[in-house]
Amino acid sequence: MEAPKSINLLHNKQIAIVGGGPGGLTLARLLQLKGANVKVYERDFSKEARVQGAIVDLHFDSGLKVIEAAGLLETFKANYMPGADKYRMVDKDANICMDEHNQESSADFGDEHFRPEIDRGALRNVLIDSLLPDTVVWNSQLVSMQLVNNIWELQFKSGTTALADIVIGADGYRSRIRSHVTDIKALYSGATIIQGEIDYPEKDCPEMYELVNQANLIAMGAGKTIAVQPRGDGGLTFYAASLYPENWIKTNGIDFNNPEEVYAYLVKFYEGWSHLFLTLFKACTRFVPRPLNYFPLDQHWDTKANITLIGDAAHLMPPSGEGVNTAMLDALDLSECLTNSEFKDVQAAITAYEKQMRERAIILGKEALDGIKDFASPTDESIKKLVQQFT
């Protein structure tokens, strides 16, 4: 790790980052490079506690830019998944409409169009391994916090406590930190996805495994979509998306902890689709329903003196390929503001960061909302446009 640099604003201050996802871990790395005292409080019992999900692509002007600023580009190169950035699009009968596997590409690191994919777990490990020992405090699910004499007292479900001069909420769309910053609530986009995890697709749904071919697969039919991505451990993650009423998850009567019930629903909902997709559903043992919510694009709050938010905790938006990249860019901006001695105090630094963060989130959030209906409930026309976009 590089030698610590001058950090007047953070001198003798303890920083608590709540949430050990890509945003929180990136922020910890960047702040430690500047010599800051940081702890990351993560609810998981360990870094092996659960599958982190499918692959994520990092972009030239955001995720990759931050990885380089964190001094981790070579480590990233050693862990990313070459070729996984390709896309294959099929129709409901599993006929291939577009296939980037057949397209020559010379894109590589340094090319603004190159978006290398990495397994989320591998990215997390790259970031964790770059931190000082014991930076991440596992089994730390936050249950409450209060400000006492300008110091935050954090209480965790495990019974442990912690003190911090500055708290950063990097704890995602269900953030417990957010309520201490703003009371602005999330809105429903109109779309919901059912996420599924398949641990042994090569054995349990071999035809689908072959169709995915270690890349991004998207299958579209009128009013519904299935997206499938590989995981670094050989598994698959899929997302079955469509438009649903806002309270559908609570009113549909499906027990999502019962794979057979979810399978029966999906078979009926995707009736008329290729049997390959039915094998995908049947191979799945873990389903999670996810309503796609978002925070209002014009959200604003008065900056607090020693607490702020990054990533989904700050600017939740429907999936658009920008989530992890934006969280990492938030981390870079916040780290630079907090270690900039030109600001008179921490609150001024946070004010400058939040202005940058909100301006960026408005643009990306609008793009995500504009595209969510075409993704979750495509028409024949929107499918044609998407095919043309990739060809």
DSSP state string for 254-301: --TT-HHHHHHHHHHHTTTS-HHHHHHHHH--EEEEEEEEE--TT---
Q: Please give the pLDDT value at position 49.
A: 64
Q: Please give the pLDDT value at position 3.
A: 41
* Alpha carbons 351 and 334: distance in angstroms, whole number: 10
How is residue 50 written in tokens?
Answer: 């659960």
Instruction: Confirm whether residue 312 is marked as ligand binding.
Output: yes
Q: In this structure, is residue 233 part of a structural domain? A: yes
Q: Please give the pLDDT value at position 45.
A: 86
Name the 3-class secondary structure at 251: helix
Whether residues 257 and 311 fall in one domain? no
Whether residues 288 and 180 fall in one domain? no
CATH number of the domain residue 288 falls in: 3.30.9.30
Instruction: Confirm whether residue 345 is marked as ligand binding.
Output: no
Q: Which residue bears the tokens 């964790």?
A: 128
Instruction: Confirm whether residue 120 is marked as ligand binding.
Output: yes
Whether residues 344 and 318 fall in one domain? yes
CA-wise closest residue to 277 among 193, 195, 199, 219 = 219
Whether residues 61 and 158 fall in one domain? yes
Instruction: Confirm whether residue 360 is marked as ligand binding.
Output: no
Whether residues 206 and 75 fall in one domain? no
Structural domains counted in the chain: 2
* Alpha carbons 291 and 269: distance in angstroms, whole number: 17
Q: In this structure, is residue 362 part of a structural domain? A: yes
Could you give the count of Cα atoms lying within 13 Å of 92 in the half-sphere of its Cβ? 16
- Report the amino acid identity of residue 81: M
- Output the CA–CA distances (angstroms, integers) from residue 387 to 72, 158, 341, 363, 390, in the order listed: 35, 50, 50, 24, 5
Whether residues 140 and 64 fall in one domain? yes
Q: In this structure, is residue 37 part of a structural domain? A: yes
Q: In this structure, is residue 40 part of a structural domain? A: yes
Q: In this structure, is residue 283 part of a structural domain? A: yes
Using CA atoms in the order 190, 387, 110, 355, what is the torsion angle rounded to 10 degrees? -20
State which of 266, 293, 320 marks the end of a domain: 293
> What residues make up the domain containing 247?
190-293
* Alpha carbons 116 and 57: distance in angstroms, whole number: 5
Q: In this structure, is residue 108 part of a structural domain? A: no
Q: Please give the pLDDT value at position 86.
A: 84
Whether residues 31 and 166 fall in one domain? yes
Give me the helix-helix angle, 259-269 and 275-283, nearest 10°: 170
Q: What is the pLDDT along the chain (391 residues), one digit of tens a residue?
A: 444 444 589 999 999 999 999 999 999 999 999 999 999 999 998 777 666 567 888 988 999 999 999 999 999 999 998 877 788 999 999 999 888 876 666 678 888 888 898 988 899 999 999 999 999 999 999 999 999 999 999 999 999 999 999 999 999 999 999 999 999 999 999 999 999 999 999 999 999 999 998 888 999 999 999 999 988 888 999 999 999 999 999 999 999 999 999 999 999 999 999 999 999 999 998 999 999 999 999 999 999 999 999 999 999 988 777 889 999 999 999 999 999 999 999 999 999 999 999 999 999 999 999 888 888 888 877 777 776 665 5
Q: Please give the pLDDT value at position 391.
A: 57
Q: In this structure, is residue 334 part of a structural domain? A: yes
* Bridge partners, 309 (sequence order): 169
Whether 305 and 320 have beta carbons less than 8 Å apart is answered as no
CA-wise closest residue to 218 among 81, 130, 126, 86 = 86
Whether residues 217 and 301 fall in one domain? no
Whether residues 225 and 270 fall in one domain? yes
Q: In this structure, is residue 252 part of a structural domain? A: yes
Whether residues 180 and 58 fall in one domain? yes
State which of 255, 277, 293 marks the end of a domain: 293
Q: Please give the pLDDT value at position 102.
A: 66
Whether 390 and 89 have beta carbons less than 8 Å apart is answered as yes
Whether 140 and 156 have beta carbons less than 8 Å apart is answered as yes
- Which residues contact residue 117 at a Cβ distance below 8 angstroms, ignoring those fewer than 6 apart? 55, 56, 57, 80, 81, 84, 85, 216
Whether 292 and 261 have beta carbons less than 8 Å apart is answered as no
